[in-house]
Amino acid sequence: MYPLTIGLVIENRELMEQAQAGLAELPLRIIVEHQDTGNMSAFYERLERMRPDVVLVDISSLTESLEGMVGHIRAASGDPMIIALNNHTESESILESMRAGVNEYLSPPLQETLKRALEKRSVERSRRRDGSAKKSGKAFGFVSAKGGCGATTLACHVAAELGRQNQKVLLADLDLDAGMIAFITKTKATYSILDAVNNLHRLDLHYWKAIVSNGIPVVEIVSAPLALASKTHAKDEQVRHVIAFARPYYDWTLVDLGRSLSHMAMAALEEIDEICIVTTLEVPALHQSKQVIQTLLDSGFGKQRIRLILNRAPKRLDITPGELEKMLGIPIFSMIPNDYPELYEAYAEGRLLGKTSELGRQLARLAGKLTCLEEEKGTKKRFALFG
């Protein structure tokens, strides 16, 4: 087991005794300890200095919002594993914890469950620090609130921009009904995602390289099957296994999940780090956005992992961004302006938008904001409504 550093914020005596007993025989070191969950400011300051691998949080008598606490911990300590401890297992409390973004929810007896959770984190840490081990990369899912909101367009342009920045990118089309990535990127694909699904028993890097194609420079694309040719349906678990296999070979994996949330999309979420919900200001789209967001939250997908993108936004909104955020329950991550003529012309010419157009620049900014990659040197920043 790879040695870990631990931060404790536990007020309940029983939970503290059980946690200490569970930690006693493991190769780890407690570097931050705090007992007053009603006064967390000193704890956050120590977290910022010490930055432990794992933080154990007693939520049995929490006074501040759990979501706020999780946000403060991640802001202060990078990306630690957060384990919520409670002396009961009420489903509502578990669901609230998952929504807030905790990694594990544990209740007494803690010894075995805590050991398993820490062993899992230990394996992740050892892989990250071993330069010879495969890195997992990061995966984004793109889903349209309803058909025609533009999730596929955004996924393709984000992939192209990351490719321009010499990132290794996979663009995967899981929209088995429409499957427009091959058309938009002008990819002449012989194989599809179904070929990988149907050959899991022989799926290795050599076979994978025979399936993907390059419609965009430096971006590898695995297409959806042709609608008429798709006579077999992939099982949800099979698709998840394909994504799990592929993502370690790329810096970024972008997955088009189609419209709304299918069973397949929900299964794929287990391998997705963040999901981009793409909507427009149309009433049906906003209604569906709210449904998608609630479904994600109810399934335990943390709110901080959801990115709401308002596409084709007019220059003057009939509703304020604040009102939209209040209605949908999450902040707007990005607003992309409407420039249908420019996009239509690009698609008619068989190309993607570049940075010569305002819409192209905004899509490039979206890629940078999602991935936190630095803007290209020499690009001047300027104030803008969108992005």
The predicted-structure confidence for 151-189, as pLDDT tens digits, reads as follows 999 999 999 999 999 999 999 999 988 889 999 998 887
Q: 217 Cβ partners below 8 Å, 6+ apart?
A: 163, 164
What was the pLDDT predicted at 384?
A: 43
Spell out a b/e string for 216-235, using b for 16 or more CB atoms within 10 Å of the CB, else e.
beebbbbbbbeeeebeeebe
pLDDT above 90: residue 123: no
What was the pLDDT predicted at 15?
A: 93
- Backbone φ, ψ for residue 223 (5° rounding): -90, 165
Pairing verdict, β 54-58 and 4-9: parallel
pLDDT band at 380 (very low <50, low <70, confident <90, very high): very low
- Interhelix angle 13-23/111-129, rounded to 10 degrees, is 50
Q: Note whether 384 and 363 are within 8 A (CB).
A: no
Task: Say which DSSP state 378 is in.
Answer: T
Least confident of 3-7, 144-148, 228-232, 306-310: 228-232
pLDDT above 70: residue 375: no
More confident residue, 379 or 319: 319
Residue-wise pLDDT tens digits, 265-299: 888 888 899 999 999 999 999 999 999 999 999 88
Compute the distance between CA of residue 171 and CA of residue 175 in angstroms, rounded to an integer. 12
Residue-range domains of the chain with CATH: 4-129 (3.40.50.2300), 138-371 (3.40.50.300)
Q: What percent of the chain has pLDDT over 90?
A: 41
Residue-wise pLDDT tens digits, 63-92: 888 888 888 888 877 678 899 999 888 888
pLDDT above 60: residue 374: no
Closest CA to 311 of 146, 174, 169: 146
pLDDT above 90: residue 122: no
Least confident of 286-290, 304-308, 309-313, 347-351: 347-351
- Backbone φ, ψ for residue 203 (5° rounding): -75, 110
Q: What percent of the chain has pLDDT over 70?
A: 89
Q: Note whether 340 and 317 are within 8 A (CB).
A: no
Compute the distance between CA of residue 171 and CA of residue 183 in angstroms, rounded to an integer. 13
Q: Note whether 218 and 163 are within 8 A (CB).
A: yes
Using CA atoms, how far residue 354 sits from 10, 180, 361, 374, in Å, is 52, 19, 7, 18
More confident residue, 128 or 110: 110
Angle at 373 between CA 370 and CA 377, to 5 degrees: 135
Pairing verdict, β 252-259 and 104-106: unpaired
Compute the distance between CA of residue 360 and CA of residue 386 in angstroms, rounded to an integer. 12
What was the pLDDT predicted at 233?
A: 65
pLDDT band at 132 (very low <50, low <70, confident <90, very high): very low
Compute the distance between CA of residue 299 and CA of residue 302 in angstroms, rounded to an integer. 9
Q: Note whether 110 and 22 are within 8 A (CB).
A: yes
Using CA atoms, how far residue 60 sits from 51, 98, 109, 112, 144, in Å, is 24, 15, 15, 20, 38
